[in-house]
Amino acid sequence: MSTSKSNSHQQMAIQMDRAWKPVFDRFDRHRTGQIRLGDFKRILHESNNHFSEDVSIDVLESLLQNENDDRLIDYQQFLNLIYNSRLDTQIQSRLHRLVRYAAMAVVPKSQRQSVIRKYLDEYNCMPPPIFILTISIIEIAIFIYYCVILGEVSTSGPVPWKSILIYNPCRRYEVWRFFTYMFIHAGFYHLFSNLLIQLVLGIPLEMVHKWWRIGIVYITGVIAGSLASSLSDPHTFLAGASGGVYALLAAHLANVVMNWEEMDFNWARLLTIIIFVSTDISVAVYDRYKTSQRNRVSYSAHLAGSLVGLFVGFNVLRNLKAKRWELILAWFSLLVYIIFMTVAILFNIFYDDYYYNPNDPEVCKQAY
């Protein structure tokens, strides 16, 4: 194995030397074994004839832009520069393919090249697009934890009613529950359906729109879901990331509809979303009204998340070719979102009579 690697390195060194020694000698006019970076930079602007196709002139220029023109480099340093350029070119090529696949999934045809160019110009890997992956891993880890603690795993369980994360109608004063309920899932089916959509759809969206934009849409959907549930279903527990998932779904669906003629597989996309949403909401409604009082979990987050996905998505997600009516719609959506959130928060703060009394153990015993 080591002999094979050694031979491979030797062959590569011979190929590099054969291709680049004549180029180096062209600049080394006095045969000192060194060349000025200024001379090398100048030829990059004059002609590409001396460079092979797998070396990016743009990458070479970026590697040299902060270097002093009077600095001298020897032949080995010159080869290192070319080698680094080739590596960067390969990385850019792979990144370009990845972004192109992501754009095909969530961007209309007329905007793809603009999105790809803009993304590649801005992409710096810091931080990488891992918001959806991180959220998914946390959700899986917490589900496994409660399966082990409660000794149960099924399509509809376990539901850790006493968890400090779940939204508990008797503990609204623990405000973190309006957000952390997203990490609790009522069974394997509940977890799987949320993970399926947020991974298949969320990762391409995150590649195109940046992690923080998708994070805003997702988290606002989660919070809006718990607030809506507290208004429409004040005595019911809430669990699951459906608010965030449906926010992503609605944001993407709006993009598909507004760019219907330009989206690949438009009918397939629409039918897939409709089938998933219909099935998921039907199961949620059934669980809400047909299961026992103790096993009920609210479904309002699905609807609220969908609406917030539209309202916030119009303002946060990228739109490289925004039309005037789209800008007006974005401002209107933002206003509606602000009004809804303000009303929901104030209602939760000032209308205690609408909710369980947390100090009454008889009323709240089912919530513990």
For the segment 312-351, what is each residue's pLDDT rounded down to a tens digit?
Answer: 988 887 665 667 887 888 899 999 999 999 999 999 999 8
Residue 179 reports pLDDT greater than 90: yes
Residues 196 and 315 in one domain: yes
Q: Which amino acid type is present at position 188?
A: F
Q: Verify whether residue 50 is a known catalytic residue.
A: no
The CATH number that applies at residue 363 is: 1.20.1540.10
Residues 99 and 201 in one domain: no
Domain presence at residue 116: no
Q: Which of 17-21, 89-93, 253-257, 342-346 has the highest mean pLDDT?
A: 342-346
Backbone angles phi, psi at 287, to 5 degrees: -60, -35
Among 163, 193, 302, 306, the active-site one is 302
Q: 180 or 70: which carries more pLDDT confidence?
A: 180
Q: How far apart are CA 53 and CA 45, in angstroms?
A: 16
CA nearest to 165, candidates 144, 194, 151, 185: 185
Q: 223 or 274: which carries more pLDDT confidence?
A: 223
Domain presence at residue 115: no
Q: 125 or 248: which carries more pLDDT confidence?
A: 248
Among 242, 298, 306, 333, the active-site one is 242
Domain presence at residue 112: no
Structure tokens at 330: 């974005």
Domain presence at residue 123: no
Q: 354 or 61: which carries more pLDDT confidence?
A: 354
Look at residues 66, 90, 106 and tell me which one is the last residue of a structural domain. 106
Domain presence at residue 326: yes
Residues 168 and 93 in one domain: no
Residues 44 and 168 in one domain: no
Domain presence at residue 118: no
Residue 100 reports pLDDT greater than 90: no
Q: 48 or 161: which carries more pLDDT confidence?
A: 161
Structure tokens at 187: 């069974």
CB distance 229 to 300 below 8 Å:
yes
Look at residues 106, 121, 140 and tell me which one is the last residue of a structural domain. 106
State residue 291's pLDDT score.
58
The string of DSSP codes covering 49-82 is TTS-TTS-HHHHHHHHTTS-TT-EEEHHHHHHHH
Residues 90 and 207 in one domain: no
Residue indicated by tokens 């959509």: 197
Task: With cut-offs at 50, 70 and 90, classify the pLDDT of residue 264.
Answer: low
In the chain the beta strands, taken as DSSP E runs, fall at 34-36, 72-74
State residue 121's pLDDT score.
45
Number of domains in the chain: 2
Residues 86 and 170 in one domain: no
Q: Which residues contact 361 (CB under 8 A, 6 or more apart)?
A: none
Residues 254 and 154 in one domain: yes
Residue 240 reports pLDDT greater than 60: yes
Residues 76 and 192 in one domain: no
Residues 289 and 228 in one domain: yes
Domain presence at residue 84: yes
Q: How far apart are CA 174 and CA 348, in angstroms?
A: 12
CB distance 85 to 44 below 8 Å:
no
Among 151-160, 301-310, 317-326, 337-346, where is mean pLDDT lowest?
A: 317-326
Question: Whole domain around residue 82: which residue ranges?
Answer: 2-106
Residues 87 and 143 in one domain: no
Q: Verify whether residue 242 is a known catalytic residue.
A: yes
Residues 140 and 71 in one domain: no
Count, residues in the chain: 368
The angle that helices 109-122 and 202-209 make with each other, rounded to 10 degrees, is 70
Using a cut of 0.75, tell me whether the model's pTM lies above it: no
Residues 92 and 136 in one domain: no
Structure tokens at 222: 């989660």
Domain presence at residue 126: no
State residue 123's pLDDT score.
44
